[in-house]
Each structure stands twice: as structure tokens, then as C-alpha cells.
Amino acid sequence: MASVRVPHPIPYQGSKRALAPAISRFINGRARTLYEPFAGSGAFSLYASAHGIADRFVIGDCLEPLIELWKLIVENPSLVSSGYQKIWEGQRIEDIFYFNTIRDKFNAGRDPILLLYLVARCVKNAVRFSKDGRFTQSADKRRLGMHPDKMRNNIEGASSLLRGRTEFFCGDFSTCVSSAGPDDLVYLDPPYQGTTYGRDRRYVSQVETSDICETLKALQLRDVSLLLSYDGMTGDKKHGDDLPSELNLKRFLLNAGRSSQATLNGENAITVESLYAWGHMTQSAALSPSLDSSHQVTLSIV
Ligand SMILES: C[S@@+](CC[C@H](N)C(=O)[O-])C[C@H]1O[C@@H](n2cnc3c(N)ncnc32)[C@H](O)[C@@H]1O
């Protein structure tokens, strides 16, 4: 497949931007609708649209201002670009109070364009929320966040990929995919276990393995093909439970590169992510000779 530059307006830690080409190797044919119920930065939907993997898209997430931001990016890109530029230009690198003022404003009014600025400027682009849903992450003191010119290009690019063929859903993943049928494909990327607990949580909501399994079973009963990024390993540290064998998922291991946390700790650990596949729209990429060598894949069946 020819390489196409895919725009990314929301710089979100945990984005599947780098792994999207490897994940797409597991898709067989073109889906009528691609559902991404844990969309975050929507990296897989953007990749899929740029590469003709689906005709239509459903972008879902339980974080309401994020879905509002997506709607605006797609349907009113110039409003988001100008709003972001105005906020970005108001800051000075030495003035950390500016970020905190914007954060307070966001926490009071949940304005989606303020959220875009917070995500772009915060430490490691890693969102953190308190139990009551307030954004708690701090400013990265060494950089100002994506330049408005680059942001404008990304926003316009994302809008032209998704405009007129995307629906937005704010709420729980299980409801988001309830209308998917046999010609559709569902790509799920729930929060890793362990990332949603503790004092400041990475995402506003937590997802139990049992709830994921229930939704997978419901999809299988309707013959809806699915791909799921779930557990993983960094070095010899495993994240997440195994999924039950009765789901008959095929499990592939994708090399996600060196973990940034491990690099910070001076370690050399590579992160390996599991991708689970089920259904007629998915295929064994391990059998594909053209697989990108930077994302080696090994096949095992659970
Ligand atoms: C691992 S991130 C997804 C990252 C995404 N694949 C990307 O490329 O940016 C998980 C996302 O799921 C959302 N989320 C958490 N619990 C959810 C739930 N129960 N239903 C829907 N979305 C949920 C979070 O707000 C977060 O944006």
C-alpha cells in the first residue's frame, strides 16, 4: 500500500498512530462502517479513511468534550484552528500560570477547544483526570505544544478525511457498537488495565475485562468482525488479563517499539502489544509476506 501522510490533530498519549499500519494488515476487504468506540485521538479511523479501509466511520468515546472536539474538527475546522491559535498565542514558555488558568476554565466549562490546547501542551500529551472528571495534568515546561500552523494543517486534513461520512457517539463503548452488523468492522482500544485506577487516572472511565468480553460476545452473535488491542508486555512486565478461550480470538503480538517510560528509566525494554482478531473481515497477517518489518508479528491462538 502506498504511504500516505495521515493528519493527527489530537496529540494523545496512547494513540495508535504508529501501530495503525500494522493493525490494518489484519483487515480483509473494505468495511461498510468502521466503529472506533474508544476513539481517543481517532488514529485508527484517520488511517483507515486515508487508506480506503472503510466507507463510513463511527467515532465514539465516553469523554464528552473530546467527542465535541471531534465534531468541531470535522464539521467546523476553521473555528477550531482559530480558537486554538488564539489560546496558543496567549502563552509564554516561562508562564506556567497561563496553562493553569486555561485548565481551570476548561474544568469549569468543558470547552472542547480548551481541551485541545491542554492535551497539546500537557506533560507527555498524557491526559489525567481526577475522580470527579477534572483535568489534572500539568504543563510541560519545556515546550509550548503543537504550533498553530501545524495544528491547522492537521485539523483540515482530518476534516477532509472524515467529513460527510462520520457519526459521533458520546458514551459507553457497548452502546456505541450496538448497531454494528456483518459488513462492519469494530476496532477496540480500551484503556490498559492499571492505567485507570489510582488517585489521578489516565482516562475518565474504567473498563472491566468482563464488560469487554460481554460486548465481544454480543458482536460475535451478530457476526460483526472485530479487532481488539488489549494487553501487552514491556520487557517481562505484563499488562492486563488474558481473555477467555471460548471467545476463539486469534492473538497476534505487535512490536510497539521501545517504551518511553523504559527509556526514561534508562532501560531498553520493548513493548509488545496484543492484537486480537475475530470474524470474516479479519485475516492472519502473519501469513502476509509484505508485513512491515518494523512491526514484527508473531501468531498465537488463545
Ligand atoms: C487507550 S485510549 C484510546 C486511544 C486511541 N486508540 C487513539 O489512537 O488515540 C482509551 C480511550 O477510551 C476512552 N474510554 C474509557 N472508558 C470508556 C468507556 N467505557 N466507553 C467508551 N470510551 C471509554 C477514554 O476516554 C480514552 O479516550
Q: pLDDT at position 93, please?
A: 77
Q: pLDDT at position 140, please?
A: 93
Q: What is the DSSP string of 91-159?
A: --TT-HHHHHHHHHHHHHH--HHHHHHHHHHBGGG---B-TTS-B-PPBPTT---S-HHHHHHHHHHHH
Residues in CB range of 125: below 8 A, 6 or more apart = 11, 12, 13, 119
The answer to pTM > 0.95 is no
| Range scoring the smallest mean pLDDT among 45-59, 124-138, 252-266 | 252-266
Read off the pLDDT band of 198 (50, 70, 90): very low
Output the nine-digit C-alpha cell for 294.
Answer: 518494523
Ligand 1 centre to CA of 38 (Å) is: 4
Rounded CA-CA distance 55/5 in Å is: 19
Give the number of other Cβ atoms within 10 Å of residue 250's Cβ. 18
Ligand 1 centre to CA of 127 (Å) is: 11
Q: pLDDT at position 259, please?
A: 59
Residue with the three cell numbers 534508562: 266
For residue 300, pLDDT beyond 60: no
Question: Which pLDDT tens digit goes with each residue over 33-44?
Answer: 999 999 999 999
| Residue 14 near ligand 1, beta carbon < 6 Å | yes
Ligand 1 centre to CA of 190 (Å) is: 5
Question: Which pLDDT tens digit goes with each residue over 273-287?
Answer: 889 999 999 976 444
Higher pLDDT residue, 75 or 234? 75
Instruction: Specify which residues 275 forms β-bridges with.
Output: 229, 252
For residue 200, pLDDT beyond 70: no
| Range scoring the smallest mean pLDDT among 50-64, 76-90, 261-275 | 261-275
Read off the pLDDT band of 63 (50, 70, 90): very high
For residue 204, pLDDT beyond 60: no
| Residue 63 near ligand 1, beta carbon < 6 Å | yes
Question: Which pLDDT tens digit goes with each residue over 105-117?
Answer: 999 999 999 999 9
Give the number of other Cβ atoms within 10 Å of residue 81's Cβ. 23
Determine what percent of the chain is predicted with pLDDT higher than 90: 69
Exposed, middle or buried, 66 (CB in 10 Å: 0-12/13-18/19+)?
buried
Residue with the three cell numbers 459507553: 172
Question: Which pLDDT tens digit goes with each residue over 214-245?
Answer: 999 999 999 999 999 987 776 666 666 678 99
| Residue 88 near ligand 1, beta carbon < 6 Å | no
| Residue 48 near ligand 1, beta carbon < 6 Å | no
Question: How many angstroms separate the Cα of 231 from the Cα of each of 97, 133, 192, 198?
Answer: 38, 25, 7, 19
For residue 193, pLDDT beyond 70: no
Q: pLDDT at position 283, please?
A: 79
